[in-house]
Structure 1
Amino acid sequence: MSYKLSLARSIIRNQSKNQILSNMTQKNYLAAAPVSKPAVPYPVDTSVGPMFRYQKSLPRLPVPSLPETLAKYLNSVRPLVNEEEFAKTVTAVKDFQKPGGIGDELQRRLLSKANNPNVINWLEDWWNDLAYFSYRDPVCVNVSYFFAYKDDKLRKDPAVRAASIITAALEFRKLVVEEQLEPEYAKNIPLCMDSYRMMFNACRYPKKQTDFELTFDPATNNHVTFIRKNKFFIMDLVKDGKQLSTSEIESQIKKIYELAGNTKDPSIGALTTENRDNWADYRNLLLAADPRNEQLLRKIESSVFAVCLDDTAPVTRDELSHACWVGDGRNRFFDKSLQFIVFENGKAGFCGEHSSMDGTPTCRLNDFVCDSIFKNRVNHGSPNVRSGLPVPEQLNFTLNKDVLDVIAKAEKNFDDLVAKHDLRVLMYQGYGKNGIKKLGFSPDAYVQMIIQLAYYKMYGASVATYESAQTRKFAHGRTEVCRSFSVDSATWVKAMEDPLVPVETKAKLGQKAISSHVKYMAEAVEGRGCDRHLLGEKLPSIFTDPTYAKSTHWNLSTSQLSSEHFDGYGWGEVVPDGYGIAYQVNANVLCFNVVSMHLNNHHMCHYLKEAADEMKQVFEIVQAKEGRVPSKL
């Protein structure tokens, strides 16, 4: 049996929903090119475009030493268990790392792979397979993620807004295809840009046991898929060698609205919401119904991206976020890497397929789209519409009874799955990133403590907490886990809820908890967390120890991506008794998206607000006593 030094499949199935986003706020590098490039300590490769000029110089993902990882693991699980349980865990760890034991053997094999000159990233193939392509549950709800855009006051007509979004997205695509997009940086270190290859003209395919993904030549595939009333349309973006202007795209979209009419077709898109093995079978049924169906599917799969023209009109943030996340499960094709969504009232958003690309690249794409439109930096082209534009092509699939039956089954399964979930958005307007910085703290670590305190307020206990940390400073790096719940955070939340503890002590313990989180995150982004390292399909006692299962049962699945143009973003919970809490740390507001299987999300939102209020109060009181009162948050 091959040892794969990672989490067991059963644990990875829970984690895979969680690998969406990094802790990094997209700030200085959201534009196509930063105002000033940092001094980078890597040589420049002039044989490729600027986007990949540092790619060959990126270091490989490190393999931590076994003692380092196990010490970090023990420290992270200590507050989760009692003395007796912890003693058993210590024994399991000692047995695992004894000289000449299974730990040494696994570490030796891992180092052998990591040192293979033909292997770019020792984790990459294992992680992509186990966490994504072998994951069999539906990607919708479980894996897909969304961004909900703020309103565009100038473009309330859905055709107008959709056209502007497409034009802006095509500008970003041009930068990617021509390799002119400026790399992203963490301080002065460039990040891996390889995943951008999977952004446009890409699609996931269902296959029994493990899926796969294909990309298509952008030079010969310049068409967009539109979905309206469950019907699929193809629009060519180029005519006579020239890209369609925004006005021309708008006129073509209006034709799609007319062609779609007021009736809905059977929803082929609903099949993409199914269990992946079921979808593989259903796809074969669809192909068997008519050989021409495969050609029609290929047009969807090879398109630049999909645009979903929904016939609903969400109003509240909750409604908009839910509609961007899952919609009605029909007017979608969840295997496409990029789906832009525009609603009847002009509201809009995005849904991303997650298997080959994490959230930072798509956050950058979506922020670029919104920011360039808002700041009128989009080249919309001529306002005149050329004559003779070909009518968008409707894809008329042949559907027999077998296909219609599985569509109905998929729709019911989707409805049942979504009905088990609740989504709530809290837009906390008390303060944001600027206010947290004035208090002297890391914004991300501070918000993680808000979440810790809110959970403790609600349940009187603390739980294993996952925060995604990106490892893209390494070649083909994706994510590592930052374990947010710690000995220090456990001590602090108890103090915050104890009215007899002096406010000075609460502040001191809070500062220590935040510092502890910052330290763990710094190690995680360097590839020195404990979760990616500890992985094995043949499980030694360290992995069968109940403490290990408890420490990877992520009751709190959290992550941050931020944009001033988003009204929400998020994904689903990773365990049935847990929460998915995505958050944005914007300049003056904090946005929390809370998803769970009806675990009183409205109460969680209440406690998040209460925790944010109380933390601010504690730190301000102490600063005032010390004579260093911050300006108004």
Structure 2
Amino acid sequence: MEMARNRNIQNIIPIGGAGTGGRDRAAKFWEEMNKDQINQNSLELARSSIFVLCLDDENVDKIDNLNQMEIDGMQILYGFGPEYNGLNRWFDSTIQEKQKEQKCENNLTIIEPKPLSWVVSEKANLLLGEQIVEFEQLTNNLQLNLLQFNEFGKDSIKGWGVSPDGFMQLCMQLAHFRLHGYLVNSYESATMRRFRFGRVDNIRAATPEALNWVKSMNSPNEEKKRKRILLKMAFDKQSLITKENLIGNGIDNHLCALEVLSREEFGLENLPEIFQDEMWKEMMRFPLSTSQVSTSPEFINCYLYYGPVVDDGYGCAYNIQPNSLM
């Protein structure tokens, strides 16, 4: 921990910052760094590690109006940016364990850490600086909140004869409509594991049926019976789209494959009209990125955070519990 604190004093270059900004720039950075054998050896040690341990300083004094779970989430997600703990991360690692300073309760044999050596050229240093500037901009533009709903959960929703996942998707569309006045392209992964080499397709929730329902919910003159009918229609459509994706009949993979093949066949200049239309670009943009990651009720306060995929979007991970929603 003391070594981590002395980083600035020792003028150690924060190599971990390379993974914080754009991927293209990160690739250029490592292409430049790998010209030196010392850097190749150090990078291989980092890449081949089972996990990365990040030694963090506590900085909760800068946080206002956030609960502890939100503070912990920000610490885990991005370390509060480059000014605090964000540059001691190795964001390309799948597993990163964050640890603040504490007393050791047991007698342990401490293995002395050995610093990795890096040779940073002027070009690489400039690229690293640009990454860190972008990282700061991204973190300053991120607002993170955890919303806990305890009125009902999965058990009640199933009792109403609807899918809990579909329920959450329509609720997010309703929330977006009330905030912005329109539905929004959303992304929810549908597993394609039943197919060889299958990965995912996209379950879209912004449907005409969903629009009719959210409009009725915002209409003070609409009867409750009519709202329930429209909600049922929206649920049925959401369920149909989900089933179509799971059996390989989704539209996203199919159209994206056609676009890739068209680029190879015709080039960017002569793409079919559908792929030159502004509607196609908007269709492939996802201001609402969603993912259900539900955990066992045995694991209390277990939750997931991630950021949006576009500057003006939302990243909404949700956790459906028997009697609550997060």
Are the equivalent residues in 2 in contact too, given 1:446–1:514 (CA < 8 A)?
Answer: yes
The counterpart of 1:470, out of the listed 188, 191, 196, is: 191
User: CA 1:472/1:341 → structure 2, altered by over 3 Å: closer, same or farther?
Assistant: farther
Match runs of 1:218-229 below 5 Å: none
The counterpart of 2:212, out of the listed 456, 474, 491, is: 491
Q: Distance in 2 between matches of 1:457 and 1:480?
A: 28
1:557 alignment partner in structure 2: 289
Question: Does 2:186 align with 1:454?
Answer: no
CA shift for structure 1 position 301? 0.8
Q: Distance in 2 between matches of 1:425 and 1:282?
A: 35
CA shift for structure 1 position 567? 4.3
1:272 alignment partner in structure 2: 19
2:151 alignment partner in structure 1: 430
Deviation string, structure 1 residues 558-605 (Cα, Å, up to 9, x no partner): 2211114354323222333332222111222212xxxxxxxxxxxxxx
Match runs of 1:134-153 below 5 Å: none
User: CA 1:344/1:430 → structure 2, altered by over 3 Å: closer, same or farther?
Assistant: farther
Q: Which runs of 4+ in 1 moved over 6 A?
A: none
Are the equivalent residues in 2 in contact too, given 1:313–1:344 (CA < 8 A)?
Answer: no
TM-score, normalised to structure 2's length? Answer: 0.80
CA shift for structure 1 position 480? 0.4
CA shift for structure 1 position 447? 0.8
CA shift for structure 1 position 484? 0.7
Amino acid of the structure 2 residue aligned with 1:555? P
For CA contacts below 8 A with separation 6 or more, give which structure has more relative contact order: 1
1:294 alignment partner in structure 2: 40
User: CA 1:525/1:396 → structure 2, altered by over 3 Å: closer, same or farther?
Assistant: same
TM-score, normalised to structure 1's length? Answer: 0.43
**Root-mean-square deviation (Å):** 2.6
Q: Distance in 2 between matches of 1:442 and 1:454?
A: 18
Higher strand share: 1
Are the equivalent residues in 2 in contact too, given 1:570–1:582 (CA < 8 A)?
Answer: yes
Question: Does 2:131 align with 1:410?
Answer: yes
Amino acid of the structure 2 residue aligned with 1:330? L
Q: Distance in 2 between matches of 1:458 and 1:344?
A: 41
2:321 alignment partner in structure 1: 586
Are the equivalent residues in 2 in contact too, given 1:492–1:506 (CA < 8 A)?
Answer: yes
Q: Distance in 1 between matches of 2:40 and 2:30?
A: 9
CA shift for structure 1 position 320? 2.0
Are the equivalent residues in 1 in contact too, given 2:153–2:320 (CA < 8 A)?
Answer: yes
User: CA 1:438/1:552 → structure 2, altered by over 3 Å: closer, same or farther?
Assistant: same
Q: Distance in 1 between matches of 2:39 and 2:280?
A: 47
CA shift for structure 1 position 334? 1.6
Are the equivalent residues in 2 in contact too, given 1:443–1:585 (CA < 8 A)?
Answer: yes
- What SS is found at the alignment partner of 2:255? coil
User: CA 1:404/1:557 → structure 2, altered by over 3 Å: closer, same or farther?
Assistant: closer
User: CA 1:547/1:274 → structure 2, altered by over 3 Å: closer, same or farther?
Assistant: closer
Unaligned segments of structure 1, at least 5 residues: 1-256, 347-382, 592-633
Are the equivalent residues in 2 in contact too, given 1:313–1:343 (CA < 8 A)?
Answer: no
Are the equivalent residues in 2 in contact too, given 1:425–1:568 (CA < 8 A)?
Answer: no
Question: Does 2:316 align with 1:316?
Answer: no
CA shift for structure 1 position 503? 0.9
Question: Does 2:97 align with 1:340?
Answer: yes
1:544 alignment partner in structure 2: 276
1:508 alignment partner in structure 2: 229
CA shift for structure 1 position 541? 2.1
The counterpart of 2:306, out of the listed 571, 591, 596, is: 571
User: CA 1:344/1:525 → structure 2, altered by over 3 Å: closer, same or farther?
Assistant: farther
Q: Distance in 2 between matches of 1:460 and 1:400?
A: 50
Q: Distance in 1 between matches of 2:181 and 2:25?
A: 41
- What SS is found at the alignment partner of 2:161? coil
- What SS is found at the alignment partner of 2:44? helix
Q: Distance in 1 between matches of 2:5 and 2:143?
A: 32
Deviation string, structure 1 residues 141-175 (Cα, Å, up to 9, x no partner): xxxxxxxxxxxxxxxxxxxxxxxxxxxxxxxxxxx
